[in-house]
Structure 1
């Protein structure tokens, strides 16, 4: 089924809000998007993210359904990016995991976790154990510092800020009406009544806390560093019991380095202690970071539900709410996008079942805006 031309109000212009605005506008819908911040998305968790697409690596801290969403996204992201008018850096060169000798026991524990995930989800590419020679062939810059590692084929990453900018441009070209510094809540709308949108989609993350009492913030801190002497080719993770970091290389020797995960809604600047630990760990991976330049230290809080899993719900007719993306926003956003499109088109989603995704849908009467005919996905 396909949507007859109708009107949407999207609350929140972060990653999910922009993806939905572009896809719905491309389908011929009238879309208004409202955000408490500016077009720069400075208040969105997506602006601070490393945007790694690493379902097997993340399986160490999440459920199989989220891993399946990540697998799905690795095939969907190239399609979404190809439809944008502005290029976005995307690569799929795998993830590398390394550790120092003293942390071998922690690395063995992680390896067993990843192998257990692969037994549950055999469609994941098999991880590869690397000795020093294989590590030198995979990531030559690390061969002198590490004797072994793990390589997770097929995993990827993109440039989060390029993507947000490209989606903004696409919204402009598709005539999405954008309302900046205009915070709205679902209570500000009466969907389906005269002068109101037909549907409201709430993607505000932590801004929706009044509507999601269980929602909490999980603070993350990152450094953006320009390091011309560092030649890492793919996202690299350092196993460490205290501060396991990731290093995500972007274009032109720009690196996003992150580690910390703190149960807090606080948006204060990054602490000196966190900065020292973050950069010391990065230097332990590659000494070239010593001559790098710190472009930015940033902190943001990821919207997280009690079970650390995403959820979509429809508490009443005309209102759809999406939240709880936690630290997996870019990894699972295409899956949540397509689940949402299925719900809007048919009121059901086979994809949600594939992903074990929590749906809380109030029974609805038949939708007069739906009509038979076209494909579910754009």
Structure 2
């Protein structure tokens, strides 16, 4: 069979040696799957096993394709659908358990924001018509909200329920992936920043293939990348009993609240067009926590475990992409704010590409595969 990329990427039809730059979410997922397929894998990460410095460490890890369709394209929504089906399979193979929940998403708003909520509902309805296979969204009245989420009974009189959506614990996942890499004898160089130029893939004593998954660390090679800042607070609020990720429609501060295990909540808001990684401001922290308190007054007594910022790797169209910049080098980047939702789709598309030279999944997801420009 014709291999469209055979002149650029070695086909993984036999055990190969593979170097991965970046030990964040994509780097770890690819390392585990490629090692499981029998390849010799070496990972180079700028941080340590805790993934400090990685966007994946500071995230709510919500798997919400319909909810996210308000700010993204149908291809990314289809990637999210794929991810929801794939995550339980991927997690079942890992060395340590990872919290995974599929209780749907609840969207709430205060009366004064009803017009914003109506526009959001129209957007989500349009997505459901465009993308097949999404569970039907449910409009809730006050009683419906109270039945679904008793913790907010009486405070919200309308809502939307998006069945089937989920979340996982990002930090448990990163830890379990690190343990699984060790179990599979992946060689990992922690705290060791490497560049594409440090390798000559295909040469003697060099890897057969180089995968660059460094996110913003790859900006020297992928100049269109920019950072989009996010701010997240982790709270311990054992008296707050939310059963699923909850989003608040708000004109200035639409927040999400993701309940993890043991009374821990991850609360964040929309992105800020800035690659400034400095700590969160007092103003944004007050607004974030005030919005959370408006959803549930029990957050007033919560303990602040951490207030963190992150810059997520983003391409000009806010969509992910794969790029073959030179022979034997494949770059994976641009996951933006959808990293955990779309990572399994990106993983499977990359594996298809490396094993067969083409990817029907990439076509289904409208995932760009950029090739070198020919003179």
Aligned pairs (5 A) from 1:288-327: 288-327=298-337
Q: Deviations over 1:249-271 (max 9, x none)?
A: 00011000000411111110111
1:33-52 → structure 2 map (5 Å cutoff): 33-52=43-62
Does residue 227 of the first structure (1) align with residue 245 of the second (2)? no
Question: Residue 71 of structure 1 aligns to a residue in which SS?
Answer: helix
Tell me which residue corresponds to 2:4: none
1:84 aligns with 2:94: yes
What is the alpha-carbon distance in structure 2 between the residues aligned to residue 130 and residue 262 of structure 1? 31
Equivalenced residue count is 364
* 1:333-357 Cα deviation digits (max 9, x unpaired): 0000000001110111000000000
Does the Cα contact within 8 Å between 1:223 and 1:256 map onto a contact in 2? yes
Q: Which residue of the other structure, out of 347, 352, 371, is the alignment partner of 1:361? A: 371
| 2:294 is aligned with 1:284 | yes
1:30 maps onto 2:30 in alignment: no
Q: From 215, 228, 231, give the equivalent of 2:225.
A: 215
> Which residue matches 1:69?
79
Matched residue, 2:164: 154
Q: Which residue of 1 aligns with 2:115?
A: 105
Secondary structure (helix, strand or coil) at the match of 1:3 reads coil
Structure 1 position 362, deviation (Å): 4.5
Separation in 2, partners of 1:260, 1:358: 25
1:122 aligns with 2:122: no
For 1:263, the equivalent position in structure 2 comes to: 273
Q: Which moved more, 1:331-340 or 1:180-189?
A: 180-189
Inter-partner Cα distance in structure 2 for 1:117 and 1:25: 37
In the alignment, what sits opposite 2:6? none
Note if contact 1:260-1:274 (Cα within 8 Å) is conserved in structure 2.
no
1:184 equivalenced with 2:184 (yes/no): no
Mean alpha-carbon deviation: is it higher for 294-303 or for 130-139?
Answer: 130-139
- 1:375 matched residue in structure 2: none
Q: Secondary structure at the match of 1:84?
A: coil
CA drift at 1:363: 9.7
Q: CA RMSD in A?
A: 1.2
8 Å CA contact 2:280–2:308 kept in 1: the answer is yes
Task: Report how far residue 168 of structure 1 moved.
Answer: 0.2
Q: 1:196 aligns with which of 206, 215, 224?
A: 206
Partner Cα distance (2:311, 2:12) in 1: 36
Query: Which deviations, in whole Å up to 9, do the C-alpha atoms of 1:77-112 show, x marking residues without a partner?
Result: 000000112000000000000000000000000000
Distance of 1:6 and 1:363 partners within structure 2 = 27
Pick from 135, 153, 174 the counterpart of residue 145 of structure 2: 135
Q: What's the CA shift string for 1:176-199, capped at 9, x where partnerless?
A: 001011111111111010010000
Please, what TM-score do these two structures have when normalized by structure 2?
Answer: 0.96
Q: Please give the alpha-carbon distance, in whole angstroms, between the structure 1 residues aligned to 2:364 and 2:270.
A: 31
Q: CA deviation at 1:144?
A: 1.3
TM-score between both structures, scaled by the size of structure 1: 0.95
> Partner of 2:271: helix, strand, or coil?
strand
SS in 2 for 1:43: coil
> Displacement of 1:125 after TM fit?
0.6
Give the secondary structure class of the aligned counterpart of 1:136.
Answer: helix
